[in-house]
């Protein structure tokens, strides 16, 4: 879910910045995701949660209640934060929603970069043992013939 969060916030920010309402932006995100899944794309947990939220709204549950349930059911703190941000906007009609979404988008992008760096460091650590084994083999290949010539 953490992997999908920056993409969701980015799409939501772009669509709402273009003048779409929250519901229309959510509908567009869900439609793109559903079309991708129908064409063979793998299911993504973050987008599945957004899809569930959208279906709750379409089935007659209020937007505020559906977003609150998204925040409560999600184990990721990022989704809870996004849920609270959107609920606050729907309740109070905040004019600063776009600014808040852009700040959240930049924070999500930074989180994505940090995650990529961490995964890269883990991959390099996993490669260290095989590289050490190869170094040992090279040393053996060089030293064994030298020792045989000495005798």
Place of tokens 């009609």: 93
The tokens 């992997």 sit on which residue? Answer: 3
Digit-by-digit pLDDT tens for the chain (151 residues) are 788 888 888 888 888 888 888 889 889 999 999 998 888 888 888 888 889 999 999 998 888 888 888 888 888 888 888 888 888 888 877 677 878 888 888 888 898 899 899 999 999 999 999 999 999 999 999 999 988 898 7
Residue 94: per-residue pLDDT: 66
The token pair at 116 is 């990529």
Report how far residue 96's alpha carbon sits from residue 87's, in angstroms, rounded to the nearest whole number: 13
Record the pTM: 0.71
Q: CA-CA distance, 18 to 129, in Å (whole number)?
A: 51
Q: Which residues contact 21 (CB under 8 A, 6 or more apart)?
A: none
Query: 97: phi > 0 → left, psi -120 to 50 → alpha, else beta; which?
Result: alpha
Residues in the chain: 151
Domain-by-domain residue ranges, the chain? Answer: 5-114
pLDDT at res. 150: 84
């Amino acid at each position: 879910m953490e992997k999908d969060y920056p993409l969701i916030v980015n799409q939501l920010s772009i669509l709402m910045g273009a003048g779409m309402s929250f519901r229309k932006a959510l509908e567009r995100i869900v439609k793109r995701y559903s079309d991708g899944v129908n064409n063979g794309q793998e299911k993504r947990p973050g987008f599945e949660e957004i899809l569930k939220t959208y279906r709750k709204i379409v089935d007659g549950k209020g937007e505020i209640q559906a977003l609150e349930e998204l925040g409560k059911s999600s184990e990721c703190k990022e989704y809870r934060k996004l849920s609270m941000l959107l609920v606050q906007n729907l309740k109070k009609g905040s004019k600063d929603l776009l600014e808040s979404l852009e700040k959240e988008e930049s924070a999500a992008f930074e989180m994505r970069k940090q995650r990529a760096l961490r995964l890269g460091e883990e991959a390099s650590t996993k490669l260290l043992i095989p590289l050490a084994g190869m170094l040992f083999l090279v040393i053996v290949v060089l030293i064994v013939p030298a020792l045989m010539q000495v005798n």
